[in-house]
A and B are shown apart, each in its own frame.
Chain A
Amino acid sequence: MPRLTFVSPDGNETTVEASTGDSVMQAALAGNVDGIVAECGGAMMCATCHVYVADDWAPKTGTPSDGERAMLDFAASEVKPTSRLSCQIAITDELDGLTVHLPDAQI
């Protein structure tokens, strides 16, 4: 099972085991990671599962779709080039070890 690490704004790290096929958002909720709200459950309606993908992982997680980009524009925290909605990153074996950073706020 791929392992994912979430880094909170204060530097705390939480590592969870994830199932391939799930999204990074689902893995965060299942792993009880604080800082992912996921209000709409992955319907791309809310921008409350915002993460910053660690620079070295960005090429592997791909780029946001137009719809995701539009939602990110309304995220509660600063949007950076590595910003993604974690519900839109599908977990593959290739993402084993992925690190994402959590923003200051989701709402």
Chain B
Amino acid sequence: MTLQRVVIVGGGHGGFQMAASLRADGFAGEILLVSDEPGLPYQRPPLSKAFLKHGDAARLDLRPSKFFDDNTISLMPQTRVTGIDPDGKHITTGDGKTIGYDHLVLATGSRNARPPIANLDLRNVLSLRNLADASELRTRLSAARHVLVVGGGFIGMEFAAVAPGLGVNATVIEGAERLMSRAVSDTMSAHFLMSHQGWGTSVRLGQFVSELLDDGAGNVAGARLADGTDIAGDIVLIAAGVVPNSELAAEAGLAVSDGIDVDDLLCTSDPNISALGDCCNFPDPLSGRRVRLESVQAATDHARTISKRLTGKPVPYAAVPWFWSDQGDLKLQIAGLGAGADEHVAHKPEKGGLAVLSFSSGRLVSVETVDSASTHMTARKLLASGRIVSKPELAAVNYNLVDYARAV
């Protein structure tokens, strides 16, 4: 069966890559890219970093409009999808239109979680997810002096790192006992805590915000912690994780758990519907565990896998996950998934750099590095090779991955 029309819901990195890969792989049918945001698909990683400094939205475009014309990709911006009819193979949009599909790709991403904190609706309580959020944050920062960041994950800490350069002080309030606890090892958390404190950021670990304080005029004036302490602040940035946008899929009767369930070809429980990126959970090729990742790499590599299948060359998803976070002058790079690790070894691969190697039952599963690009790239290559790299083998080379790779 030849597909005539592929409809992609979501115009983020994954949705864009889906359209681009289909054309690159020779798909000749119609491609509709439906996005609820205005404008062209754009890069999100700079929103919490460089964009807050330069504020130039045009520099974020993934490709110019000519690319979409040249590749006959029909972009439907500012269009919200309100329903999927899997039997009739069509979607419904907010203005009541129906759009038929032969194959549907859900690239709906995720949205910011709203933690159980009183008074989240006060003015100057912001979040950071899309371009509109980042533009608003940037505007409001010009009149602010002290920002309270609720959540010490990547987004919160990236913002905290640029805050001094934007003329504001930042206080980070994190419920866990360490920073970025979902993503990195204890050693790496400690390394970043020390650096952030050195840059002037105040960090409160193991603390929960119970309510936000009102200045009497509807503006936020600070936060009250669960232990009763009040901290003043004129902007509160909520950076407390995300929720996958899987409601459309659930309402359509697709299997959904932590996000939309897909198989190793990124196909949902409906053979005519695929899902990718933040909104789906998939079997991790290395551990076999089901995982849901929030990264550009997962979204774009998922898109490439789906494109191969739709153009008749199905290959199971096998990409090694990689992540990065730029905070101040530190570049954190992660290869692989450390969530199932039971052992971590830290070492200094080169001057100023730091690497943490994580093992699960003695097998290397993840490598976190700061300022050691060669270690990071070697880790990506080794993990992709499928080779079982054992702790004793690495101990024999003082945990220097580059030396190890050179010798094997």
Contact = CB atoms under 8 A, between A and B. Distances in A.
A41 B46 contact: yes
Interface in B204-261: none
B373 interface: yes
Interface stretch (A4-12, A49-57, A68-76, A91-99): A68-76
Contacts of B316: none
A45 interface: yes
B377 interface: yes
Tell me whether chain B's interface is mostly helix, strand or loop, or mixed: helix
B333 interface: yes
Given A29-B62, A30-B61, A41 B43 contact: yes
B399 interface: no
A29 to B, nearest CB: 6
B61 A67 contact: no
B66 A45 contact: no
Interface in B279-308: 296-297, 300
Contact of A45 (B43, B70, B322, B381): B322
Contacts of B61: 29-30
Contacts of A32: 63-64, 66-67, 70
B317 interface: no
Interface in A25-42: 26, 29-32, 39-41
Interface of B: 43, 45-46, 59, 61-64, 66-67, 70, 296-297, 300, 322, 324, 326, 331, 333, 371, 373-374, 376-377, 380-381
30 contacts: A22-B59, A26-B59, A29-B61, A29-B62, A29-B63, A29-B64, A30-B64, A32-B64, A32-B66, A32-B67, A39-B296, A39-B297, A39-B300, A40-B296, A40-B324, A41-B45, A43-B324, A43-B326, A44-B373, A45-B322, A66-B373, A67-B371, A67-B373, A70-B373, A70-B374, A70-B376, A71-B373, A71-B377, A74-B380, A74-B381
